[in-house]
Amino acid sequence: MALPRMAPGWRLAARVALAVFGGYALASAFAMAVPPLLPASLAQAVLAATLAGFVVHVLAVLWTFTQTDLRRASAGLLLPALAMAAFGLLMRGPGA
Amino acid sequence: MNDALSAANAPKQASGAGLRQSMAWLHTWCGLWFSWLLYAVFLTGTLAVFEDPISHWMTPEHHAEEAALEAASAAAVTGTAGADRGQRLARAVAYMAQHHATQDMWEIWPADANGGGELRAYWFDAERRYVMARLDPATGAPLPDAAPAGPVRGTHGGHHFVDFHYTLHAGTAGLWIVAIAAMAALVALVSGVISHRRIFRDFFTFRPHRGARSWLDAHNAVAVLSLPFQLMIAYTGIVFTATLFLPAGVMTHYGTDAGARVRHAAALSSPVPHARTGRAMAVPDLEPFAARAGQLMGQPVRAVVIDHPGDAGMRIGVYGWNDAPGLERRMSATSGMVAFSPEGEVLHVRQPGGAGDGAASFTSQVMGNLHMAGFGGVSMKWLYFLCGLAGTAMMGTGAVLFMVKRRAARTDGFGAWTPRMHRVIEALNVAAIAGLPIACVAYLWANRLLPLSIGQRADWEQGMFFAGWALALLHAFVRPPSRAWRDQLATLAALCLLLPLANALTTGDHLLAELARGDLESVGVEATCMVLGLLAGIAALRVRPRAAVPARAASGRRAAATLDSPGGAS
């Protein structure tokens, strides 16, 4: 193993931080990416995606606690978050 | 759930047992650390269901006035609406044009639902505060604030509970804290369900007088009973200010400046954009707009809102009055609305409680109304009250269960800190579960005992709420846990049971008199308080002093778990 194994307390702190902030990042990216895909006015679509974002956050927290490998859990949250955030920024209209 | 801390650090592969174990760990610790705050939010939120009756009880000087108003509005002949609405609207427009011409939003409330009542104008002042002027309906001249006829009992009334349950009286910071707690509640609820093997069978299981088992059974019963309610309340509580808590969508598509949320909110209810054109245009006679809108939405006119008044790009929005039967029936409490161009073209129609703004807006409005029990009338409010109490009991039993189990099994989750942490958790349990209700009823006592003449009286009452809670916290740390439970439950019982007496001694009013004049709101407050006091009294009697901490023998475990718990499943 390349990295020394963290003490259990630190691993737990890292897991909680990942669940809270990584989950929030995923929820935020979801709220950025989904509106352009919905068949509704932009305002309605943004509200819909934001409302659903809280469900994404809760599921992300639960999922993080089912994962054994913290690095895999980080990748599982942050890579989709990055991809969705990039997509949302690309699809931004001229008004924003 | 025995210290699955290690289980969460290295859960077994996604096998059923590993999943349940990690979810059980999450449920225990997420539940524990948020249980006190959630208990406070849930209990005050449950009281907030009856905000109006509590406010009514707390303002006895206004009872006659309230009854007169009610009689007047019941006696008012409907069908007079619009008789002089046109003149009222014209007078308010003249007032606004003379005094607040430069404001970008004029909002005029011409009359009550029967066509009478006050004429009011609203606008945003230089500090972006929403302000109001009462106008004389006959002349349009601003009216001075009416001086109260009798003595005034300064109070925040039931609104104290409403405000506390979602901001903790701490403004935006409190709003965030409560929202984070609500997210934690969702996590704890879902992980609690997953960690359960036989949720249905457990619901029908109750093993009394068995220490930790009984607490677990009680916790499961109230949790399963109110699970859908709690999921709904936690989620719908967050979505009130969804774009504040999760602003990424708005920031991406509406910009990152301070006005972005406002622009998004405006776009939600008016799909047709409207902006200043720079061309001057007089505000038209508003009565034709009001009359047309009243026909289109089928409601009497509550408010006429003019955006960009005096500009050719102005927009005239007319909003309707909701009536009680309509509100009881509809899932959304949104009134009807019709938007016009200044030339009279209809831009947008939303039927009362309808989805005219769009599916997402409608969903959000329905969720807001679900949270506040805005439909279904009084019986729905009682259902919410009972479900709220069940949810409160779930959080309370969960917090107690945590300690009972650890005392019984003598597990140490905190290493060398275990005795100290357990002492802190015990004290917080007492101060939260028994201490907060004491603070709530102390608030009602303060309403009757504080002199009417002191300045900032309403804030003094609120101060008594926090003072009561602080005393309970102090007491919980000073006294041994089982004594603290008993003292505080007994105090709670006494304060609740004696509240009607305090009322009788200070105002001369009492349950029989309230019943005789049909004042069911006051009866409801005092009777509910006495029932809760009775339950607290029973719980106080069932707390027995804890035996000297027994050795680690199995028999000792059973004894410790059974002896020290505040009253079975109450």
Residues from chain A that touch B237, judged by Cβ atoms under 8 A, are none
- Structure tokens that stand for B237 in this block: 């509580």
DSSP three-state, residue B518: coil
What is the chain B residue with the closest CA to A25?
B248
- Say if the Cβ atoms of A57 and B183 lie within 8 Å: yes
Q: Does residue B185 lie within any of the structural domains? A: yes
Q: Cα–Cα distance between B282 and B69 in angstroms, integer? A: 38
- Say if the Cβ atoms of B23 and A32 lie within 8 Å: no
Q: Does residue B217 lie within any of the structural domains? A: yes
- The pLDDT confidence band at residue B253, using thresholds 50, 70 and 90, is very high
Is 80 exceeded by the pLDDT of residue B202? no
| B28-64: pLDDT as tens digits | 999 999 999 999 999 999 999 999 999 999 999 888 7
Residues in chain A: 96
Distances (CA, A) of B223 to B36, B226, B238, B520: 16, 5, 20, 31
Give the gap in angstroms from C-alpha A89 to the nearest C-alpha of chain B.
7
Is 50 exceeded by the pLDDT of residue B247? yes
- The pLDDT confidence band at residue B149, using thresholds 50, 70 and 90, is low
- With beta carbons less than 8 A apart as the criterion, state whether B321 and B112 touch: yes
A51 touches chain B (CB under 8 A): yes
| B447-463: pLDDT as tens digits | 999 998 888 899 999 99
| Burial of B256 from C-beta contacts in 10 A (0-12 / 13-18 / 19+) | exposed
A86 touches chain B (CB under 8 A): no
Q: Does residue B329 lie within any of the structural domains? A: no
Give the gap in angstroms from C-alpha A79 to the nearest C-alpha of chain B.
17
Q: What is the mean pLDDT of residues A57-82?
A: 95
Alpha carbons within 13 A on the beta-carbon side of B433: 33
A70 touches chain B (CB under 8 A): no
| B473-495: pLDDT as tens digits | 999 999 999 999 999 999 999 99
What is the chain A residue with the closest CA to B10?
A68
Interface predicted TM-score (ipTM): 0.93
- Say if the Cβ atoms of A68 and B10 lie within 8 Å: yes
Look at residue B434 in the predicted model and tell me its pLDDT.
Answer: 96
DSSP three-state, residue B145: coil
Suggest the residue from B9, B13, B21, B252 to mutate for an interface test with chain A (most A CBs closer than 10 A).
B252
A29 touches chain B (CB under 8 A): yes
Look at residue B81 in the predicted model and tell me its pLDDT.
Answer: 45
- The pLDDT confidence band at residue B75, using thresholds 50, 70 and 90, is low
Is 50 exceeded by the pLDDT of residue A2? no
Q: Cα–Cα distance between A8 and A1 in angstroms, integer? A: 17
Share of chain B above pLDDT 70, in %: 86
Look at residue B1 in the predicted model and tell me its pLDDT.
Answer: 36
Look at residue B395 in the predicted model and tell me its pLDDT.
Answer: 93
**Where on the phi/psi map is residue B115: left (φ > 0), alpha (ψ -120 to 50), or beta?**
left
Torsion of CA B22, B24, B25, B31, to 10 degrees: 140
Q: What helix, strand, coil percent values describe chain B, rounded to 5?
A: 60, 5, 30
Q: What is the mean pLDDT of residues A29-53?
A: 96
Residues from chain B that touch A61, judged by Cβ atoms under 8 A, are 26, 187
CB-nearest partner of A46 from B23, B191, B249: B249
- Say if the Cβ atoms of B249 and A31 lie within 8 Å: yes
Suggest the residue from A18, A51, A57 to mutate for an interface test with chain B (most B CBs closer than 10 A).
A51
CB-nearest partner of A47 from B8, B10, B360: B360
- Say if the Cβ atoms of B359 and A40 lie within 8 Å: yes
- With beta carbons less than 8 A apart as the criterion, state whether B194 and B26 touch: no
Q: What is the mean pLDDT of residues B412-416?
A: 71
Residues from chain B that touch A32, judged by Cβ atoms under 8 A, are 248-249, 252-253
Cβ neighbours of residue B534 closer than 8 Å, sequence gap 6 or more: B493, B496, B497
A7 touches chain B (CB under 8 A): no
- The pLDDT confidence band at residue A27, using thresholds 50, 70 and 90, is very high
Q: Cα–Cα distance between B113 and B111 in angstroms, integer? A: 7
Residues from chain B that touch A95, judged by Cβ atoms under 8 A, are 253-255
Other CB atoms within 10 A of residue B63 CB: 18
Look at residue B249 in the predicted model and tell me its pLDDT.
Answer: 96
Q: Cα–Cα distance between B250 and B258 in angstroms, integer? A: 11
| B497-534: pLDDT as tens digits | 999 999 999 999 999 999 998 899 999 999 999 999 99
- With beta carbons less than 8 A apart as the criterion, state whether B248 and A32 touch: yes
Q: Cα–Cα distance between B90 and B104 in angstroms, integer? A: 18
Look at residue B146 in the predicted model and tell me its pLDDT.
Answer: 66
Is 80 exceeded by the pLDDT of residue B163? yes
Is 80 exceeded by the pLDDT of residue B206? no
Look at residue B130 in the predicted model and tell me its pLDDT.
Answer: 86
Look at residue B113 in the predicted model and tell me its pLDDT.
Answer: 86
A76 touches chain B (CB under 8 A): no
Residue ranges making up the domain that contains B33: 5-62+157-239+377-563
- Say if the Cβ atoms of B235 and A54 lie within 8 Å: yes
Look at residue A3 in the predicted model and tell me its pLDDT.
Answer: 54
What is the chain A residue with the closest CA to B241?
A51
Bridge pairing between strands B337-340 and B130-135: unpaired
Q: How would you label B459-483 residue by residue, b for 16+ Cβ within 10 Å and e otherwise?
A: ebbbebbeebbebbbebbeebebbb
Look at residue B272 in the predicted model and tell me its pLDDT.
Answer: 66
What is the chain A residue with the closest CA to B253?
A96
Lowest mean pLDDT among B374-383, B385-394, B538-547: B538-547
Share of chain B above pLDDT 90, in %: 56
Cβ neighbours of residue B140 closer than 8 Å, sequence gap 6 or more: B91, B92, B94, B95, B119
Q: What is the mean pLDDT of residues B70-78?
A: 62
Nearest Cα to Cα of residue B435 among B461, B407, B466: B466
Suggest the residue from B231, B238, B246, B251 to mutate for an interface test with chain A (most A CBs closer than 10 A).
B246
On average, the pLDDT of chain B sits at 85
Look at residue B422 in the predicted model and tell me its pLDDT.
Answer: 87
| Burial of B498 from C-beta contacts in 10 A (0-12 / 13-18 / 19+) | middle
For chain A, give every domain's residue range: 19-90
Lowest mean pLDDT among B144-148, B329-333, B413-417: B144-148
Other CB atoms within 10 A of residue B336 CB: 26
Q: Specify the amino acid at residue A3.
A: L
Is 50 exceeded by the pLDDT of residue B468? yes
Nearest Cα to Cα of residue A54 among B182, B174, B422: B182
Lowest mean pLDDT among A77-81, B95-99, B549-553: B549-553
Distances (CA, A) of B230 to A83, B189, B397: 34, 8, 15
Look at residue B293 in the predicted model and tell me its pLDDT.
Answer: 94
Look at residue B128 in the predicted model and tell me its pLDDT.
Answer: 77
Q: What is the mean pLDDT of residues A48-63?
A: 97
Look at residue B258 in the predicted model and tell me its pLDDT.
Answer: 81
Residues from chain A that touch B238, judged by Cβ atoms under 8 A, are 54
Lowest mean pLDDT among B163-177, B239-253, B505-519, B541-555: B541-555
- Structure tokens that stand for B66 in this block: 């309230």
Give the gap in angstroms from C-alpha A84 to the nearest C-alpha of chain B.
11
Strand partners, B280: B311
Q: Does residue B382 lie within any of the structural domains? A: yes
| Burial of B167 from C-beta contacts in 10 A (0-12 / 13-18 / 19+) | middle
Look at residue B216 in the predicted model and tell me its pLDDT.
Answer: 84
- With beta carbons less than 8 A apart as the criterion, state whether B524 and B554 touch: no
Is 80 exceeded by the pLDDT of residue A54? yes
Q: Cα–Cα distance between B276 and B315 in angstroms, integer? A: 10
Residues from chain B that touch A62, judged by Cβ atoms under 8 A, are 23, 26, 187, 190-191, 194
A54 touches chain B (CB under 8 A): yes
Helices first, then strands: H and E counts in chain B: 23, 7
Q: Tell which wins on pLDDT, A9 or B204.
A: A9
Look at residue A31 in the predicted model and tell me its pLDDT.
Answer: 97
Q: Cα–Cα distance between B379 and B523 in angstroms, integer? A: 16
Q: What is the mean pLDDT of residues A68-91?
A: 96
Residues from chain A that touch B357, judged by Cβ atoms under 8 A, are 44
Alpha carbons within 13 A on the beta-carbon side of B111: 26
- With beta carbons less than 8 A apart as the criterion, state whether B563 and B209 touch: no
Look at residue B570 in the predicted model and tell me its pLDDT.
Answer: 32
Residues in chain B: 570
- Structure tokens that stand for B118 in this block: 């006050």
DSSP three-state, residue B80: coil
Look at residue B509 in the predicted model and tell me its pLDDT.
Answer: 92
Lowest mean pLDDT among A34-38, B232-236, B277-281, B465-469: B277-281
CB-nearest partner of A68 from B13, B25, B363: B13
Cβ neighbours of residue B201 closer than 8 Å, sequence gap 6 or more: none
The number of folded domains in chain B is 1
Q: Does residue B496 lie within any of the structural domains? A: yes
- Say if the Cβ atoms of A66 and B14 lie within 8 Å: yes
